[in-house]
Structure 1
Amino acid sequence: MRLDKLLFALRLAKSRTLAQRWIAEGHMRRNGVRVLRIDQPVCPGDTLTLPLPDARGAPVLVIEILSLPLRRGPATEARMHYRAVGPALTGADHSP
């Protein structure tokens, strides 16, 4: 599944356009490697690092993809397809 479609289906991005912008601006990482292609394929077992622009104190979320959703369903259904791994990074944790 394409990364932009996955972020939208998992309700991690409010729109595919927003997901595409995050990817194009270099804010996304797949398995620790920066992703710049919108159509980057994602598979179960991949680890994604994504921005949380409205977060207070934890601007980054790290998740492991457990399975790929067939559709954009309710939030409870979307959360069954991924799990948070490790602590989210705070601004103090980033090294310049």
Structure 2
Amino acid sequence: MSQAGSQDRLRIDKWLWHARVVKTRSLAAKLVADGHVRLNGTRTDSPAKAVKVGDVLTIALERTVRVYRVLALGDRRGPASEAQTLYEDLSPEPPGRLAVT
């Protein structure tokens, strides 16, 4: 398999795992396969689907919905501080939360 082009894309399940959205890569694959992930607004059920910098992922988790813009792909699953550099959190505020003034 050629490495050309592999630097600008990463499997969606691997990216979710690198970004610490889930604890294991198999859980990431299941999340995608079960239809809980949208890539740029389109539902995907293929864990092998490739993501690139600039893509927007909408992820339906147990009690919340996360919206992340991919800023980097990452080479490994590092500490949480490193994982947070992989995305910009665009998630809406949870309903029912009041702004404190």
The TM-score with structure 2 as length reference comes to 0.79
Is the CA contact (8 Å cut-off) linking 2:65 and 2:91 kept in structure 1? no
| 8 Å CA contact retained: 2:36, 2:61 | no
Large movers: runs of 4+ above 6 Å: none
Q: What is the TM-score of this pair, normalised by structure 1?
A: 0.83
How far apart, CA to CA, are the structure 2 residues paired with 1:32 and 1:39? 17
Q: Which moved more, 1:81-90 or 1:32-41?
A: 81-90
- The equivalent position to 2:44 in structure 1, one of 11, 35, 44, is 35
- Aligned with 1:62: secondary structure? strand
Kindly indicate which of the two structures has a greater share of residues assigned to helix.
Answer: 1
SS in 2 for 1:44: coil
Q: Measure the CA separation in 2 of the matches of 1:21 and 1:88.
A: 26
User: 1:38: Cα distance to partner?
Assistant: 1.1
Identity of matched residues, %: 41
The one-letter code matched in structure 1 to 2:51 is V
Aligned length: 86
Letter in 1 for 2:69: E
CA distance in 1, matches of 2:50, 2:94: 25
Partner of 2:85: 80
Superposition RMSD on alpha carbons, in Å?
1.3
Alignment gaps of 5+ in structure 1:
91-96
CA contact (8 A) 1:46 1:65 kept: yes
User: 2:93, 2:23 → 1: CA distance?
Assistant: 20
- Per-residue CA deviations over 1:35-77 (Å, capped at 9, x if unaligned) read 1111000000000011221x4xxx1000100111011000001
Greater strand content? 2
- Equivalences for 1:4-83 in 2 at 5 Å? 4-53=13-62, 55=63, 59-83=64-88
Considering only CA atoms, is the larger Rg found in Structure 1 or Structure 2? Answer: 2
Unaligned ranges ≥5, structure 2: 1-9, 96-101
